[in-house]
Amino acid sequence: MSQRPPLINIHWPEQTEAGKRKALSAYPLFALAFRPFFLFGACWALLAICIWALWFSGLMSFQFGFPAALWHAHEMLFGFGAVVAVGFLLTAAQNWTGLPSLSGKPLLLLTLLWLTARFSLLFAQYTPLLWLFIVAQLLWWTGAIYSLASLLIRAKSKNNYLFIPLLSVMALLNTIFIYAAATERFASASHLSHSMVLLFSILMGIVGGRVIPFFTARALGLEQNKTPLLDKWLLSLSAFGTVWFITDFFVQLPLKAGWLILLVGSLHLLRLSFWTPWKIWAAPLLWSLQLAYLALALGLILLGISDLTQILVFKDVLHLLSISAMAGMILAMMARVSLGHTGRVLQVGKTITVAFALLLLAGPVRMLASLAGVPLLFWQVSAVLWLCAFAIFIRFYWPVLTQPRADGRPG
């Protein structure tokens, strides 16, 4: 038997007799949730932004099921972002619980539901396809949450229970968004999409706060700096601020949500300072994560300022969060997790490094669109940077995600 390469598979438990896969999971693509969800999520990130860029550039006429801006928001958040987050959590749950995670036929079914929702919404101006989209999207959420919750509850993994209500709130927001968009309550639907970005910020804060300092300390041979009190305050204030932001749209509250968002962003910036960010520049898998986290902190600070003043356009700042922070962290995590869980060395080449940089740059470019005087050009440049980043990822990670593990182990 060949020797295992260094720095691989640091996350997941060994396969046991009790964890034998169903027949379909013999196919690598359906061995674990990260494989199809990362691959199809990245492909959709490429296709959906291509459609969106052609549409807003006036190069394509298309009748979306929702107003075009709401379709774009839905597909980036509840489509692309959600499927990658669920793929990561379902895969990570195997490590947290020691139980076999979703694979085989159930994973195939969940993937087909997600794909059905994506393409039926594209043509949801036809009522039957709108209903098909609604059913498929809500069934996908139900299956994803049930799969994660059943693993965590069976293993009594109480430290990870918080992901169950977080995904449930995301699913609830998605349901209300669909209702609001379908009944032409477009302002409410737009506000709910903004709220979803804040929910993703909470998820990034939780996951990033766990893995980034661990990965950094491990790679650099340092002792991990832990900030348990700061972590608790960040989670509580993030949740409270998000609830406050959602509520303030419907009921006028005495305090603007921007103050809370500004505070949370500042605490994220403080937290990042404990993770030795000045020592990471030789490792793309480290600086890509830390710069995405920096974009999260700065994005929340600027979002708070834009909510309190007229200096910055709220929607423009929101794109710094959704592109550089959310998508930036997604791309970095997909790159690392895909290597680690297919038995490969945790190293990336120069081309993937360029992809990280392009996506991180796309957020500031999009944020500056209104200030530049030529917003359409900045939108287009940001879209091209995004498309190049995900095209590079798909080119290099398609074989990683569809072929057997490099070390010959199952999974």
200 touches 242 (CB < 8 A):
no
Q: Are residues 173 and 212 in the same domain?
A: no
Mean pLDDT, the chain, whole residue set: 91
Q: Is residue 154 part of a domain?
A: yes
Q: If pLDDT is split at 50, 70 and 90, which confidence band does 406 have?
A: confident
Share of the chain above pLDDT 90, in %: 82
**pLDDT above 50 (res 21):** no
Q: Which of residues 184, 218, 249 is at a domain's end? A: 184
pLDDT of residue 370: 87
pLDDT of residue 265: 97
Q: Are residues 305 and 373 in the same domain?
A: yes
Query: With helix as H, strand as E and coil as C, how does the chain read?
Result: CCCCCCCCCCCCCCCCHHHCCCHHHHCHHHCCCHHHHHHHHHHHHHHHHHHHHHHHCCCCCCCCCCCHHHHHHHHHHHHHHHHHHHHHHHHHHHHHHCCCCCCHHHHHHHHHHHHHHHHHHHCCCCHHHHHHHHHHHHHHHHHHHHHHHHHHHHCCCHHHCCHHHHHHHHHHHHHHHHHHHHCCCHHHHHHHHHHHHHHHHHHHHHHHHHHHHHHHHHHHCCCCCCCHHHHHHHHHHHHHHHHHHHHHHHCCCCCCHHHHHHHHHHHHHHHHHHHCHHHCCCCHHHHHHHHHHHHHHHHHHHHHHHHHCCCCCHHHHHHHHHHHHHHHHHHHHHHHHHHHCCCCCCCCCHHHHHHHHHHHHHHHHHHCHHHHCCHHHHHHHHHHHHHHHHHHHHHHHHHHHHCCCCCCCCC
Q: What's the pLDDT tens digit per position in 170-229?
A: 999 999 999 999 999 999 999 999 999 999 999 999 999 999 999 999 888 888 888 999
Residue 239 lies in domain = 194-405
The token pair that represents 197 in the structure block: 């970005």
Q: If pLDDT is split at 50, 70 and 90, which confidence band does 65 have?
A: confident
Q: Is residue 106 part of a domain?
A: yes
Domain count, the chain: 2
Q: If pLDDT is split at 50, 70 and 90, which confidence band does 372 have?
A: confident
Q: Using CA atoms, how far apart are residues 340 and 318, in angstroms rounded to an integer?
A: 31
**pLDDT above 80 (res 163):** yes
The verdict on pTM exceeding 0.85 is yes
Q: Is residue 288 part of a domain?
A: yes
Q: Using CA atoms, how far apart are residues 200 and 173, in angstroms rounded to an integer?
A: 12
Q: Are residues 97 and 242 in the same domain?
A: no
pLDDT of residue 23: 59
First to last CA, the chain: 18
Q: What's the pLDDT tens digit per position in 302-316?
A: 999 999 998 889 999
**Positive or negative, the Cα torsion across 327, 333, 336, 342?**
negative
Q: Is residue 349 part of a domain?
A: yes
| pLDDT (mean) for 321-330 | 98
pLDDT of residue 2: 41
**pLDDT above 70 (res 10):** no
Q: Are residues 162 and 212 in the same domain?
A: no
Q: Which of residues 184, 215, 250 is at a domain's end? A: 184
Q: Is residue 8 part of a domain?
A: no
Q: Are residues 149 and 218 in the same domain?
A: no
Q: Is residue 12 part of a domain?
A: no
Q: Are residues 105 and 138 in the same domain?
A: yes
| pLDDT (mean) for 338-356 | 95
- Pairwise pLDDT comparison (140 vs 224), residue with the higher score: 140
Q: Are residues 177 and 251 in the same domain?
A: no
Q: Are residues 55 and 113 in the same domain?
A: yes
pLDDT of residue 20: 47
Q: Which of residues 158, 184, 210 is at a domain's end? A: 184
The token pair that represents 258 in the structure block: 């921007």
Q: Using CA atoms, how far apart are residues 326 and 292, in angstroms rounded to an integer?
A: 7
Q: Is residue 3 part of a domain?
A: no
Q: Are residues 244 and 155 in the same domain?
A: no
Q: Are residues 112 and 260 in the same domain?
A: no
Q: Is residue 135 part of a domain?
A: yes
Q: Are residues 382 and 338 in the same domain?
A: yes
User: 293, 320, 317: which is closest to 207 by C-alpha?
Assistant: 293
Q: Are residues 378 and 287 in the same domain?
A: yes
User: 382, 198, 216, 205: which is closest to 294 by C-alpha?
Assistant: 205
pLDDT of residue 63: 84
Q: Using CA atoms, how far apart are residues 83 and 38, in angstroms rounded to an integer?
A: 8
